């Protein structure tokens, strides 16, 4: 037999053994999947280090060579790990907010305003509700600009307890009156689960703020509501944690959730937060829920709002949130970042003229 004939014969044998190994590995994988199902049914942890150790000891004890024991251990550990991964994939719960569960986009209707169906939606209004006159002025401007969602904080989660905490229910009532006077819808932050029912008398959308993204009792209360929820990303939350927070709401039966990227904490000081633009396409890809970008809190400055708004919409955002105040210099919160009414008008002009946003009342 020539050298090359011999090589071919040996290679043919290797191919055969590979085939046998594959058959055995697949048989083993099927068994581990069945074990995984049994463990889930019993509520037992899938990873069992003692059982792994026993198996390795047994295998090594009957190792005929030529591989040394360490190599055999290493090879089998790889097989164990692959099996565990397989069990985990099998039982990883596919989230309700995930596109794997629902490929088509969730569309949230807020009165006549349809969010998440292709048209871009603007939410605007003051950081805090301060006076009826203040909110009326902003509401009038919104209606002139063809913007139908009025925001304003009545319960303000302030960093310092000595800062203005908001007008509470009185603030919600002001928002409602201003919205009704100009045919708008109200979105406002609620910070206490026990206020949800009261809030539902005034608001059309409940906002959950960044600081409360993982306030699980609040999320559950929002999940029990029959109103859309505007959920902001926590300032130190990963995209995955953000989606789990949304899952808290959706899993209670409220599927009307809008996600809002509002910037995350980084070392950068020239912006208040760092707008995580990559979160927008990631969230759109991973979830069927509408995604907004808060262009005010994410950057905390007025001079780059237009390019940031364009970037957000180009990245696939369904809408934008921004703060507008008749006289930002005297605002009781976020005085440095709110824009005044002429600036808002010019902002909207640019959004419309660029074709990025369509007038709602066109
Ligand atoms: C707000 O939108 O009023 C607000 C407080 O923003 P955030 O929760 O994103 O800080
Ligand atoms: Mn604010």
User: pLDDT per residue over 76-86, tens digit each?
Assistant: 999 999 988 88
What pLDDT digit, counting tens, does each position of 308-342 carry? 999 999 999 999 999 999 999 999 999 999 999 99
Tell me the CA–centroid distance for residue 347 and ligand 1, in Å.
20
Closest ligand to the CA of 127: 2
Residue-wise pLDDT for 122-172, tens only, equals 999 999 999 999 999 999 999 999 999 999 999 999 999 999 999 999 999
pLDDT band at 362 (very low <50, low <70, confident <90, very high): low
Residue 55 has pLDDT above 90, yes or no: yes
For residue 210, give the DSSP letter.
G
Q: What is the pLDDT of residue 356?
A: 95
- Identify which ligand lies nearest to the alpha carbon of 156: 1
Q: Above 90 in pLDDT, residue 45? A: no
Mutating to test ligand 1, I would choose from 209, 279, 293 the residue with most ligand atoms within 8 A of its C-beta, which is 209
Which residue's alpha carbon is nearest to atom 6 within ligand 1?
209
Max CA distance (Å), the chain: 101
Atom of ligand 1 nearest to the CA of 233: 9
Judge whether residue 46 has pLDDT over 80.
no
Residue 232 Cα to ligand 1 midpoint, Å, equals 7
Q: What per-residue confidence (pLDDT) applies to 221?
A: 98
Predicted confidence at residue 47, as pLDDT, reads 82
3-state DSSP of 227-290: CCEEEECCCCCCHHHHHHHHHHHHCCCCCCEEEEECCECCCCCCCCCECCCCHHHHHHHHECCC
Torsion of CA 310, 314, 317, 320, to 10 degrees: 10
**Local structure of residue 125 (DSSP, 8 states):** E
pLDDT at 171: 98
> Does the 3-90 domain belong in CATH 1.20.59.10?
yes
How far, in Å, is the centroid of ligand 2 from the Cα of 136?
18
With the most atoms of ligand 1 within 8 angstroms of its CB, the residue from 167, 210, 299, 336 to mutate is: 210
Question: How far does residue 212's CA lie from ligand 2's centre (Å)?
Answer: 14
Percent pLDDT > 90 in the chain is 90
Q: What pLDDT is recorded for position 91?
A: 61
End-to-end CA, the chain:
86
Q: Please tell me the predicted confidence (pLDDT) of residue 3.
A: 86
Mean pLDDT of the region 182-204: 98
Angle at CA of residue 202, ends 228 and 120, nearest 5°: 40
Chain segment 208-243, per-residue pLDDT in tens: 999 999 999 999 999 999 999 999 999 999 999 999
Top mutation candidate among 123, 153, 160 for ligand 1, by most atoms within 8 Å of CB = 153
- Looking at residue 92, what is its pLDDT? 64
Distances (CA, A) of 280 to 7, 19, 56, 151, 171: 56, 45, 46, 21, 31
Find the residues whose C-beta lies inside 6 A of ligand 1.
127, 153, 189, 209-211, 232, 262, 294, 297
Q: What is the mean pLDDT of residues 336-352?
A: 98
CA distance 189 to 202: 12
- β-strands 149-151, 121-125 pairing: parallel
Query: Is domain 108-354 classified as CATH 3.20.20.70?
Result: yes
Q: Which whole number is the average pLDDT over 48-54?
A: 90
Q: If you measure from the C-alpha of residue 87 to the centroid of ligand 1, how many angstroms do you get, rounded to a whole number? A: 40
Reply yes or no on whether the pLDDT at 304 is more than 70. yes
- For the chain, give every domain's residue range: 3-90, 108-354
The closest-lying atom of ligand 1 relative to the alpha carbon of residue 260 is: 9
Nearest ligand, measured from the Cα of 263: 1
- Token pair, residue 234, equals 């926590």
Q: Which of 92-96, 173-177, 249-253, 305-309 is the least confident region?
A: 92-96
Among 152, 187, 189, say which to mutate for ligand 1: greatest number of ligand atoms within 8 Å of CB.
Answer: 189
User: Using CA positions, which residue lies closest to atom 4 of ligand 1?
Assistant: 209
**What is residue 264's predicted lDDT score, i.e. its pLDDT?**
98
């Amino acid at each position: 037999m020539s050298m090359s004939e011999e090589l071919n014969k040996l290679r043919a044998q290797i191919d055969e053994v590979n085939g046998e190994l594959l058959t055995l590995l697949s048989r083993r994988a099927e068994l581990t999947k069945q074990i995984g199902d049994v463990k889930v049914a019993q509520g037992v942890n899938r990873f069992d280090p003692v059982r792994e150790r026993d198996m390795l000891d047994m295998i090594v004890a009957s190792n005929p060579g030529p591989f040394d024991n360490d190599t055999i251990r290493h090879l089998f550990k790889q097989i164990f790990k692959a099996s565990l991964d397989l069990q985990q994939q099998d039982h990883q719960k596919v989230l309700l907010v995930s596109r794997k569960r629902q490929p088509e986009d969730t569309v949230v209707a807020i009165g006549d305003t349809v969010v998440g169906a292709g048209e871009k939606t603007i939410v605007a209004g003051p950081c805090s509700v301060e006076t009826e006159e203040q909110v009326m002025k902003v509401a009038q401007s919104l209606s002139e600009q063809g913007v139908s969602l009025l925001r304003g904080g009545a319960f303000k989660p302030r960093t310092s307890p000595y800062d203005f905490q908001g007008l509470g229910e009185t603030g919600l009532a002001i928002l409602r009156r201003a919205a009704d006077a100009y045919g708008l819808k109200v979105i406002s932050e609620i910070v206490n689960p026990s206020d949800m029912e009261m809030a539902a008398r005034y608001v059309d959308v409940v906002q959950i703020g960044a600081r409360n993204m993982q306030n699980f009792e609040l999320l559950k209360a929002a999940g029990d509501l029959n109103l859309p929820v505007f959920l902001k990303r926590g300032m130190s939350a990963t995209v995955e944690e953000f989606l789990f927070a949304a899952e808290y709401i959706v899993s209670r039966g409220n599927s009307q959730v809008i996600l809002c990227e509002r910037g995350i904490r980084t070392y950068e000081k020239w912006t208040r937060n760092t707008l995580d633009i990559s979160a927008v396409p990631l969230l759109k890809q991973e979830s069927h829920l509408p995604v907004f970008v808060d262009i005010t809190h994410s950057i905390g400055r007025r001079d780059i709002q237009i390019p940031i708004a364009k970037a957000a919409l180009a990245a696939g955002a369904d809408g934008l949130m921004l703060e507008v105040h008749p006289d930002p210099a005297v605002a009781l919160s976020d005085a440095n970042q709110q824009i005044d009414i002429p600036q808002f008008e010019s902002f909207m002009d640019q959004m419309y003229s660029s074709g990025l946003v369509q007038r709602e009342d066109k």
